Copies of this chain bind each other. A is one copy, B any other.
Amino acid sequence: MRKICVVITARASYSRIKTVLTAIQAHPRLTLQIVVTGSALVERFGNIIPHLEAQNLPVSAIIPNLLDVENTTASAKTTGLAVIELATFFANRRPDLVVTVADRYETIATAIAAVNMNIPLAHVQGGETTGNIDDRIRNSISQLADLHFVATENARDRLVRMGLSRQKVHCTGCPSIDLVYRHKDFYFNPYESYGGVGTQPDLNAPYLVILQHPVTTETGHSKWQIGNTLHAIAALNMPGIWFWPNADSGTAGTAQGIRAFREQHPDLPFHFFKNMESSHFIQLLKNCAAFVGNSSVGIRECSALGVPAVNIGSRQRGRERGPNVLDCLPNTEAIASAVQHQLAHGHYQQVTLYGRGDAGERIAEQLATVPLILKKHLLPA
């Protein structure tokens, strides 16, 4: 039995890797170890422990390490702490292979601990390009990894051009898209299930879903950025389901922006959720009139669903996209105008750009069968 350790550092990463976790657990030749750390343990950023427990997924360890200062020093230190404590976990539990997900700043900690300890490293979602600082982290992790599971053929080509061996790069599609394909229509009341704050738009009428993160290189602008989006949607008087951003440098600004806006405009048809189980989120997304924000959801999940997406600003610059995406500048007028355009257009044709729904199983199968050439480390020393 190969022991596969998946390190999850944020709510968003959990959603992306969920079908891989399930497929590893179901695989007869794999044992699953899950380590939860970073903002994935913090209530206000979306503690994933209850979700893992609800899915009967095993939490091998929690590593609380998120620093409480809204600045870039805190990001660096959170990463450093993760390296230290993941090393201890690996020394004790000796996984045969470690999986790290995507490109958040602290995911490189997983890569560094594994590479230093001669443990083979698999990276999910490498080779993409978003035109911002995440590109650096993503490419840096790709250079450290032994095995790559990418979402698109373009991503695969990009990794090969970077000097990585083609046979180590597997184009499996993105596991987050698996959820889109698997989801069955079902009824649920998000207000009852998740609480949240604000008025409660009627979900049988057209509504928007909005998810906007602070942009890492533009720390300090996040309050202004979210403010523009809030004003744009308010100007349209369109019902909106908003989601709270990830824990990043700049999150406090986004949160302040939302709070200040809500105090001034308590009666707008907006509802704010902190977190949502991904099958529920997709249900909500599938039924919405359009998605707005700078999350990759607009580009990935929405392309598979055919949902019109307004992509604001630079955060997804360079990411491969389907016909459903309309880019706009991060100012109020541009956002409002782009949303109107997308509402006028309505749903788009679904495309399989980011996968066909079987990424989880394909990744698990590779993890079970790929030759592990690195010698196992011997510990304790």
Is A72 in contact with B133, judged by CB distance below 8 angstroms?
no
Shortest beta-carbon distance from A68 to chain B in Å: 3
Stoichiometry, as copies per complex, reads 4
Q: Is A372 an interface residue (CB 8 A)?
A: no
A81 & B79 in contact (Cβ 8 Å cutoff): no
One of B92, B136, B143, B374 near A115 (C-beta < 8 A):
B136
A351 in the interface (beta carbon within 8 A): no
Total interface residues in chain A, CB < 8 Å: 72
Residues of B within 8 A of A91 (CB): 62, 64, 73
Take A67-B66, A105-B116 as given contacts and tell me if A378 and B220 are in contact as well, using a CB distance cutoff of 8 Å.
yes
The reply to whether B69 and A77 form a contact with Cβ atoms under 8 Å apart is: no
> Interface readout for A295-317 with B: 1 if CB under 8 Å, 0 if not?
00000000000000000000000
Asked if A236 lies at the interface with its beta carbon under 8 angstroms from chain B, I say no
Q: Which of A158-178 contact B (CB under 8 A)?
A: 158, 161-163
Interface residues of A (CB under 8 A from B): 36, 41-43, 47, 49, 61-77, 79-88, 90-92, 105, 108-109, 111-113, 115-118, 133, 136-137, 139-144, 158, 161-163, 216-220, 247, 374-375, 377-381
Residues of chain B contacted by A105 (CB below 8 angstroms): 115-116
The chain B residue with its CB closest to the CB of A48 is B380
Whether the pair B70, A77 counts as a contact (CB closer than 8 A) is no
Set B70, B85, B142, B143: member contacting A381, Cβ < 8 A: B70
Bound-state Cα–Cα, A144 to B108, Å: 11
Which of A36, A88, A92 has the most CB atoms of chain B within a 10 A radius of its CB? A88
A380 and B62 within 8 A (CB) = yes
Q: Could you write out 18 A-B pairs with CB less than 8 Å apart?
A: A42-B68, A43-B70, A47-B381, A61-B92, A62-B88, A64-B381, A65-B67, A71-B379, A72-B118, A74-B381, A75-B116, A77-B88, A80-B113, A83-B83, A85-B88, A118-B217, A142-B143, A143-B143
